[in-house]
Amino acid sequence: MRVGVCGAGGRMGATVCGAVCADPELELVAAVDPAATGQAVAGADIEMAPTLDAFGEARAEVVVDFTVVDAARENLAFYADHGMHAVVGTTGFSDADLASFADAFAQSNCVIAPNFAISAVLMMRFAELAAPFFDSAEVIELHHENKIDAPSGTAMRTVERMAAASSTWTPDPTERLVLDGARGATGPGGIHVHSVRLKGLVAHQEVILGAEGQSLVIRQDSYDRSSFMPGVVLAVKRIAEHPGLTIGLEPFLGL
């Protein structure tokens, strides 16, 4: 399968390039990153190109996109217009964006996942299953210092699924804030979300659920970007089997 990578000069993009090159069923045919134009791609006999046209010239069947949301909006329109499948790890899209992508991908397919770590996908599923059995919950997501959006897409997806699974969350009892923002942000269902940004972290999340006399903590840790690669490679290989727009890796795992 002929694969392109957009955002190939970034840390995630470079890791994706390595994973594609290491898989005998995949061929890295193009890598795009305007900020790294002309740089060699480790493990492949190609250089980074400045524009998306490189994917068409290389006849890429699937493009993996780890960029930023403003660029990704235009990128996805290009992939759809050129009949390329898209595997997208960029987060921060609006509901209007997703509706637009659903309309655009009529001749090819697209998966947008907030997290490609299989452990993170399972964490979200476990939190969803646990939600109806608890009265209150909070989510703490922790990421590296260069992540520009907060809360993370994973945290938002987790809270949305928990709120859909249960509508009986106990209201926040806080009456006085000594420090503004001390209770974090309020997400769907009134579930509070807290974002941490620190050097030394990659991607981590903790879901804390409470009921009378008991609590449950569900935690997922990605210590290295390699943790995302099995999910990315799985999505690349199976994207042709999932028509149109898919949100999340769950359908690829049978969840």
Cut 0.85: pTM above it: yes
Same domain, 184 and 217: yes
Same domain, 214 and 232: no
* Euclidean distance between CA atoms 115 and 133, whole angstroms: 25
Q: Which amino acid is at 4?
A: G
Count: domains in the chain? 2
pLDDT at 174: 94
pLDDT at 68: 92
Place of tokens 């995302």: 228
User: Domain holding 155: CATH number?
Assistant: 3.30.360.10
199 classed as catalytic: no
Same domain, 230 and 107: yes
Same domain, 103 and 20: yes
237 classed as catalytic: no
| Residue spans of the chain under pLDDT 50 | none
Same domain, 106 and 94: yes
User: Domain holding 20: CATH number?
Assistant: 3.40.50.720
- Residues 19, 234: contact at Cβ < 8 Å? no
- Among the listed residues 85, 143, 192, 194, the single catalytic one is 143
Same domain, 171 and 248: no
Q: Which amino acid is at 197?
A: R
pLDDT at 224: 96
Same domain, 30 and 99: yes
Same domain, 34 and 94: yes
pLDDT at 42: 83
Same domain, 17 and 97: yes
Same domain, 59 and 91: yes
Cα–Cα nearest to 14, from 66, 76, 53: 66
Report the chain's terminal Cα–Cα distance, integer Å: 25
What is the extent of the structural domain holding 183? 118-222
pLDDT in tens, 149-173: 899 999 999 999 999 999 999 999 9
Same domain, 6 and 108: yes
pLDDT at 43: 83
pLDDT at 138: 98
* Euclidean distance between CA atoms 161 and 128, whole angstroms: 6
Same domain, 29 and 95: yes
- Among the listed residues 82, 144, 147, 242, the single catalytic one is 147
